Structure 1
C-alpha cells in the first residue's frame, strides 16, 4: 500500500514544525513561535489550522475556550513524501542526480560525508540481508 502524499505549502509546513516541536499548541502559541519568521494575524493562523484539520494534517481538542491543536501526521512520513515528490519533479526520480546536486550545491563537511557513507553502507547491508 502506498503512503499518502503529504505535500505541505510553506505556511502549513511552518505550522506543522511548531506542532511537532511542541506536541500540541493553541493558535496563540503557533503565532508566537512563528512571529519572528512570519508575523501573521491570529485569524490567518486559525483559518489555516482549520483548513489543515479538514485535510487531516492536524486534530484539536477544546479546553475552555481554547482549541488545542496537535499533529495528526508523522513528521518522518511528511519529510519522506516531500523529498520523494521533489526527486520526482526536479530529477525525474533519479536519486543519484538529486544527491549529486545537493553535494555540489552545499558545503558538506567531513562529519557529514562520514554520516552519508555510513548511511550508504547500512543501506547496502539491508539490501544484501534482504536477498
Structure 2
C-alpha cells in the first residue's frame, strides 16, 4: 500500500521529521508560526494520519508522542511521481526545465545536476 499524505499532512510530517518524535502541542506550536490553525485541527489531522499509517503513536507517556512512519524521501518520491504524471503529463524533462526556469540554481547545484546526469548517460 502506497501512503499518500495530503498537503496539510505533509506540513505536519515536516515538523515531525525535523524533531524526530513530538507531541501534538509541539507540532501545533510549530505550525502556527507560519499559518493560522486551531489545536483541535492539528490533533484531528494527526489522529487521521495515525489511522492511515503515516505516523506511529507512543501512548506509554502521559502525553502521546508521534513519530513518522513514512520517510521524507518516500514522501518526496510519491509527490514528485504524482506531479510528473498529472501536471507534466509524464515528462520528466518538462519538470526539470520548469524547475530550473523558476528557481535560480547555484553553481554547486548545477554542478551536482550535471554529475547526476552523467550517471544516466553511462547506463545506456
- Using structure 2 for the length normalisation, give the TM-score: 0.90
Pairing 1:106–2:106 present: no
1:90-105 pair list within 5 angstroms: 90-105=87-102
CA distance in 1, matches of 2:61, 2:87: 47
SS, match of residue 26 in structure 2: helix
Runs (4+) of structure 1 moved beyond 4 Å?
A: none
Q: Which residue does the alignment assign to 2:56?
A: 59
Of the three residues 27, 41, 44, the one matched with 1:44 is 41
Pairing 1:123–2:124 present: no
Offset at residue 67 of structure 1 (A): 1.0
Flag structure 2 segments of 5+ consecutive residues without an equivalent: none
Flag structure 1 segments of 5+ consecutive residues without an equivalent: none
Q: How many residues align?
A: 124
Q: Which residue does the alignment assign to 1:35?
A: 32
SS, match of residue 65 in structure 2: strand
Q: Which residue does the alignment assign to 2:73?
A: 76
Of the three residues 82, 85, 88, the one matched with 1:88 is 85
Over aligned residue pairs, what C-alpha RMSD do you find?
1.6
SS, match of residue 59 in structure 1: strand
